Amino acid sequence: MTDDTAIRTDDLEVTYTGNRDVTALDGVSVAFDENKLTAIIGPSGCGKSTLLKSLNRLHEIQPNAEIDGEVYLGDEAIYDTDEPLPEIRRRVGYVPQTPTALPLSIYNNVAYGAKIHGDYSRAELDDLVERYLRKVNLWDEVKDRLEDPGAELSTGQIQRLCLARSLAVEPEVLLCDEVTSALDPISAEQVEETLENLKEEYTIVMVTHSMDQAKRLADDVIFLYLGELVEASDTRSFFENPQHERTREFVKGHTAVDYDDEPSEEAATDEPPVASR
Ligand SMILES: Nc1ncnc2c1ncn2[C@@H]1O[C@H](COP(=O)(O)OP(=O)(O)OP(=O)(O)O)[C@@H](O)[C@H]1O
């Protein structure tokens, strides 16, 4: 951990209980730097979404999820705190894969969280709505129809609206769960451009299945395999000079994974690497 760390996990373990318990994360310790975009990549089922959601306790929505270890937001242990859960989730926002507008106007989709969390005048809300719609490059497209239902926008516009809604409550960290995968290529490009701009100002942690997207957007990459952290580094080193055989195989496209596999020796080291150190 350094002074630049915005959020980090410490020996995080998540198990889904059931007929057959699944250890989705197995002792993951990783740090995410401030004002950087970190991509979480790895084969299907390796624990990417579980890691992302554990950063704001969203995985707790699953009743069979058990967690051990800790997540620190700054110095605060988010699993051992008196801070109310809605406040933790305000501080660590989450944008899901499927763009969904609230059944409200475009204006109120953005103002929604601010109205719940703060005491704003109408003029302040007007400013806030414009500021965040501009941040996600949507203002020019919607400024003349702010009272129209958000749901009437295109899917790509709704995804940018979701980003604006998440940002309007001023999170410290933004979690993005495959936010372009449900979009057509042009909309996906617009969302990518938005993320490219936002990462100057925000700490963003993004799950992606696209290696090209990770290469284009991410400052740092972390690679999970069978619930363990295999490699974490800056994006260029990750793709040009991967340190682990498992990473090299994955980067080359060997992505098949089976949970009955034994983790590789590399993946099972006691001290998982920490991003960008
Ligand atoms: N609610 C649940 N109950 C039981 N097992 C679960 C549950 N949610 C996830 N899992 C299992 O935990 C493991 C990790 O799942 P997770 O969704 O975090 O992986 P992922 O890397 O995001 O997968 P994908 O790339 O396919 O979205 C998988 O084996 C998955 O089947």
Contacts of 74 by beta carbon, 8 Å cutoff, 6+ apart: 6, 7, 172
Handedness of CA 277, 28, 171, 145 (dihedral sign): positive
* ipTM at complex level: 0.98
Atom of ligand 1 nearest to the CA of 14: 12
Query: What domains lie within the chain, and their CATH numbers?
Result: 5-103+173-268 (3.40.50.300)
Q: Put the strands of the sheet holding 65-73 in their side by side order.
A: 22-33, 5-16, 65-73, 76-77
pTM to 2 decimal places: 0.88
Partners of 66 in the β-ladder: 15
Q: Are 153 and 82 in contact (CB under 8 A)?
A: no
What pLDDT is attached to residue 113? 86
Q: What span, in angstroms and rounded, lies between the C-alpha atoms of 268 and 276?
A: 20
* CA separation, residue 265 to residues 27, 50, 101, 249, 257 (Å): 14, 23, 45, 15, 15
Nearest CA to ligand 1 atom 18: 47
Closest Cα to atom 1, ligand 1: which residue?
Answer: 62
Ligand 1 atom with minimal separation from the 227 CA = 14
Please tell me the distance from the alpha carbon of residue 176 to that of residue 53, in angstroms, as a whole number.
Answer: 10
Which residue, by CA, sits nearest to atom 12 of ligand 1?
A: 24
Length of the chain: 277
For 2, counting Cβ atoms within 10 Å of its Cβ (0-12 exposed, 13-18 middle, 19+ buried), the class is exposed
Q: Which ligand 1 atom sits closest to the C-alpha of 50?
A: 18
Strands of the 228-234 sheet, one edge to the other: 92-95, 173-177, 203-207, 37-41, 220-225, 228-234
**In this structure, which residue's CA is closest to atom 24 in ligand 1?**
44
- Tens of pLDDT along 236-273? 999 999 999 999 999 887 444 443 444 444 443 433 34
pLDDT on residue 271: 38
With a cut of 70, which residues of the chain have pLDDT below it? 1-2, 254-277
Give me ligand 1 centre to Cα 24, in Å.
Answer: 7
pLDDT of residue 114: 84
- Determine contact, residues 110/164, Cβ cutoff 8 Å: yes
Residues 175 and 120: beta-carbon distance below 8 Å: no
Pocket of ligand 1 (CB under 6 A): 16, 18, 22, 24, 42, 44-50, 62, 64, 259
